[in-house]
Structure 1
């Protein structure tokens, strides 16, 4: 397509601006984005390709060699699966695409805006999407070891609190045990299904299950924050019941979010060719990120509220209430970073440019179960007291039998 425009500057000189748009020339011009070395054969690069028309701009007579301010050009992508755009122009001397004097101003899935300080034949070169190398032996070994250790610690935490249940019975203990179960399920589904992309229906089911179980983990944090806030507000009132909040808020509300997401999207965006997770292209990922961020903000607000309550209760020396609030506060301060940060990082799991996040993600997963086991079992004074009470009860029972 050819366009021509005449204009006058300084009331004296007439200029002619000419624009030619070349469609579908990717098979004619090679995808070479560097100068060929001397003596080498002219070959196309398999790592980049044209992703839009070639735009030729020319002004006669020439204004200046270097444009200031630079010209802005917007290219619409023909292939929305390509990534890492580069604003380039065709270098006739040598026959290759160069990006000298051009830069990417902004880009998204549909278009890229370039800035160039000269006029010539412009185009966008982009790379095929490459899934991060999750098949590497090092990463797989690290993932299995870290999640395996975390799972063992979570099972141990469940076992200890289950054994000492009659001495540790409380809403906080129920929340902890529900969290352990949710994390174990998350680990199992994640390891077994995150890469099962060969069957689209199965991949959709796995993505929906991961969406649900991850939301459960965050909703359990929300329930913990509500439980802590209620402890502060009703500190001088009878014990409140959290069972219904635990069932409805932590297990049923996430299911409602997943069902609504499936209905609205008609399952599109739940899994793709790269990974069985929520699509970032369609914005479906916000069905997980949005609720997660709201939970984190709410719980940070609860932490501030509780800090004020602790300082206030110290002044009145209400020891029993203070210890109760401190227990909930300590629990949430451990829970929020340990469970929140890894799954937020998991959003970026599939991007090759952010492949290092996979290693951070795997390491933090290993810390989840270990941290919960350490603070809720090994370093928890209530668990130690409960264990001693159980031993005393067994000793007393043996003494009665011997008599």
Structure 2
């Protein structure tokens, strides 16, 4: 076998291996992106924020980009289709980078204006989608579509300078987020604005981790990606395959397991599951005997189980002089209610004496704007409602886990 034939056969083997690992790598990234979206949708009530909206845009855009990349990068038989795919990929991945710049700018805004609550996510997202349109549009106008794909791949070529229409904005985004990171570290985590609010400090730390880890990684990956498809050097090609497989995975790791708000949401879910399990394990008669609900406690966007428990304990101590201790409670969490209303707080107490001490002081709580009620099952609540409609019944109520009671009219 001649050396030329051997080189051709070896190149074919490497090409097949790269193709297979590219599919595996992109699939791993797509799984990471999908898991990130699923986690945030499942815990949307706890995690919803401007940064979460931005993250959903990043994941969705990236996911679409991967699909187009996997299915279209080698569609070279039709030059028009190939050019269209290259243009779409150029736009999609620029959007991803500008969304990441938007995150850095949002955290910087929070650091420099800790007391301002103006919502800035909408203009940032609009800009992140609009600026790439200008860049791609100018690139198309200047190059007349030359450089968008060739006979071997449907991506940007480096022959006519089109490469800089992608590499230039990436460099700007990376440098911009490095500047943002410097501001965040100086004035946010180490500076006086970090003292403004504990919840804001946690957002700043999370944002700094995201900007500091993901932006450089993405920038390096896609700069290598341009060379990987334009150069026959195996080093660039394998580096791109490896780094590409880590992108979605890193988004998942940084935005889920390492994010404190996600950790708190999981802990809250686990406590609710424990509460449900402990409730169903009690007898049918007594399972809600020691439960009480407190209505009209304001709900904060940044609230977690710990801060909510402190608020409830403070209200009980201030209004009815009951010093509720952690040992007195089995679980404490908010339960669903009508949209637009603060969710009631459900407290499962360890014994009935603590419950009685609290329930005897409903009047002072009512004077403070709060309402204490028993945790009534739907069937019992339905019975109470029907009794109230009866002409001979003056009043009906649920008595301390002992069932429904009623007063007849005299």
TM class by shorter chain equals 0.5 to 0.7
Structure 2 unmatched runs, 5+? 6-10, 277-334, 337-345, 347-374, 381-410
Post-superposition CA distance 1:136-184 (Å, at most 9, x none): 3321221111111111111111011011112111111112111111211
Q: Report the equivalent of 1:383.
A: 262
Q: Is the 8 A contact 2:26 2:245 kept in 1?
A: yes
Structure 1 unmatched runs, 5+? 1-44, 48-131
Describe how 1:75-154 pairs up with structure 2 within 5 A. Answer: 136-154=15-33
1:222 aligns with 2:97: no
Task: Give me the CA root mean square deviation.
Answer: 3.0
Please point out which of 100, 121, 136 is paired with 1:242. 121
Cα shift at 1:280: 1.1
Question: 3-state DSSP class of the match of 2:190?
Answer: helix
1:270 aligns with 2:148: yes
Q: 1:166 to 1:316 in 2, by over 3 A?
A: closer
Greater percentage in strand: 1
Q: 1:167 to 1:198 in 2, by over 3 A?
A: same
Q: 1:159 to 1:141 in 2, by over 3 A?
A: same
Q: Report the equivalent of 2:133.
A: 255
Q: Report the equivalent of 1:284.
A: 162
Q: Report the equivalent of 1:190.
A: 69
How far apart, CA to CA, are the structure 1 residues paired with 2:14 and 2:77?
15
Cα shift at 1:241: 2.7
Q: TM-score when scaled to structure 1?
A: 0.63
Q: Is the 8 A contact 2:195 2:201 kept in 1?
A: no
Q: Report the equivalent of 1:356.
A: 235
Cα shift at 1:217: 1.2
Q: Is the 8 A contact 1:338 1:371 kept in 2?
A: no
How far apart, CA to CA, are the structure 2 residues paired with 1:133 and 1:293?
34
Post-superposition CA distance 1:66-115 (Å, at most 9, x none): xxxxxxxxxxxxxxxxxxxxxxxxxxxxxxxxxxxxxxxxxxxxxxxxxx
Q: Report the equivalent of 1:334.
A: 213
Q: TM-score when scaled to structure 2?
A: 0.62
Cα shift at 1:387: 3.1
Q: Is the 8 A contact 2:106 2:120 kept in 1?
A: no
How far apart, CA to CA, are the structure 1 residues paired with 2:13 and 2:124?
38
Q: 1:391 to 1:318 in 2, by over 3 A?
A: closer
How far apart, CA to CA, are the structure 2 residues paired with 1:373 and 1:214?
18
Post-superposition CA distance 1:220-253 (Å, at most 9, x none): 111111111111111122243311211x222122
Q: Report the equivalent of 1:177.
A: 56
Q: Report the equivalent of 1:71.
A: none
Q: Is the 8 A contact 1:167 1:386 kept in 2?
A: yes
1:207 aligns with 2:86: yes
Q: Is the 8 A contact 1:133 1:352 kept in 2?
A: no
1:293 aligns with 2:160: no
Q: Report the equivalent of 1:158.
A: 37
